[in-house]
């Protein structure tokens, strides 16, 4: 068995799962249970067996450390995921992750721990863009007519341009991540590809709705055994 210093790097892709909400207006949701398991745990499972992922980090608010360790420590150990403690906002947690990522990681997939419903086809699509742009994000069009309003209730104005909702994960090159953390915001303009509306955020939507979306996820195709002996090995 190779020692840590002797590990062979088979991929330059890292995954960072943040537990702080993306904005101050978003409610926390990473520790909310969806069909019996915490949202962040479902996100961990999403990436734990993902081919090509070299390192996965979960970043938590220090105030949540005891709760998270009590509920998830065995899962973290089993999946080989590193827990990083620090930061209580999206960007401060991302800065902590940036410092904890090994220098060999050249591409970073950043995900919201309150988004447990991501179709594998969306993951395939965004990872297929690896290396083509500094920052690539999933997004979906907002349904229905769009109006701009300062507040609700209040007055609205017709929005002529198409409006989309930013989803996660977001794929950064290491240089793109460094710049985004230094600026404390996403770059503008940002490169977008279309994502699924199944990708809902727990805390923003009811957990029952998120559970229903999980049931609608497309199932990955499983390779059938080529002969009875191969099947018997399982």
Reported as type and span, the H/E element at residue 172 is strand 164-173
Question: How many angstroms separate the first and last alpha carbons of the chain?
Answer: 25
Residue 14 pLDDT > 60, yes or no?
yes
Q: What are phi and psi of 147, to 5 degrees?
A: -125, 145
Q: What is the pLDDT of residue 234?
A: 42
Could you report the per-residue pLDDT of 181-214, keeping only the tens digit for each? 999 999 999 999 999 999 999 999 989 999 999 9
- Rounded distance between C-alpha atoms, residue 128 and residue 109, angstroms: 12
Residue linked to tokens 């409610």? 27
Could you report the per-residue pLDDT of 44-102, keeping only the tens digit for each? 999 988 889 999 999 999 999 999 999 999 999 999 999 999 999 999 999 999 999 99
pTM for the model: 0.87
CATH label, 11-144+159-232, candidates 3.40.50.300, 3.90.550.10, 3.40.50.620, 3.40.50.2030: 3.90.550.10
Residue 233 pLDDT > 90, yes or no?
no
Taking residues 134-139, report their average pLDDT.
96
181-211 burial code (b ≥16 CB/10 A, e <16): beeeebeeebbbbebbebbbbbbeeeeeebb
pLDDT category, 224, cuts 50, 70, 90? low
Taking residues 117-131, report their average pLDDT.
95
Would you say 171 and 108 are in contact if contact means Cβ atoms under 8 Å apart? Answer: yes
87-98 burial code (b ≥16 CB/10 A, e <16): bebbbbbbbbbb
Residue 7 pLDDT > 60, yes or no?
no
């Amino acid at each position: 068995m190779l020692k840590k210093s002797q590990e062979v790097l088979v991929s330059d892709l890292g995954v960072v799962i943040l537990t702080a909400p993306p904005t101050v207006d978003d409610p926390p949701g990473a520790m909310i249970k969806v069909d019996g398991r915490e949202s962040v745990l479902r996100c961990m499972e999403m990436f734990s067996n993902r081919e090509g992922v070299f390192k996965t980090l979960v970043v938590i608010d220090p105030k949540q450390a005891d709760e998270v360790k009590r509920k998830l420590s065995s899962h973290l150990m089993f999946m080989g995921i590193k827990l990083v403690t620090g930061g209580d906002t999206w960007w401060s947690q991302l800065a902590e992750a940036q410092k904890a990522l090994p220098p060999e990681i050249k591409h970073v997939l950043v995900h919201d721990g309150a988004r447990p419903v991501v179709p594998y086809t969306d993951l395939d699509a965004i990872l297929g863009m690896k290396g083509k742009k500094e920052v690539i994000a999933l997004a979906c069009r907002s349904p229905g007519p769009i109006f701009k309003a300062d507040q609700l209730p209040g007055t609205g104005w017709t929005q002529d341009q198409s409006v989309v909702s930013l989803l996660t994960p977001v794929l950064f090159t290491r240089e793109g991540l460094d710049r985004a953390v230094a600026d404390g915001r996403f770059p503008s303009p940002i490169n977008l590809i279309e994502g699924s509306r199944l990708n809902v955020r727990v805390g923003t939507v009811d957990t029952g709705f998120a559970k229903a979306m999980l049931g609608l996820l497309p199932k990955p195709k499983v390779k059938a055994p080529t002969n009875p002996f191969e099947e018997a090995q399982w």
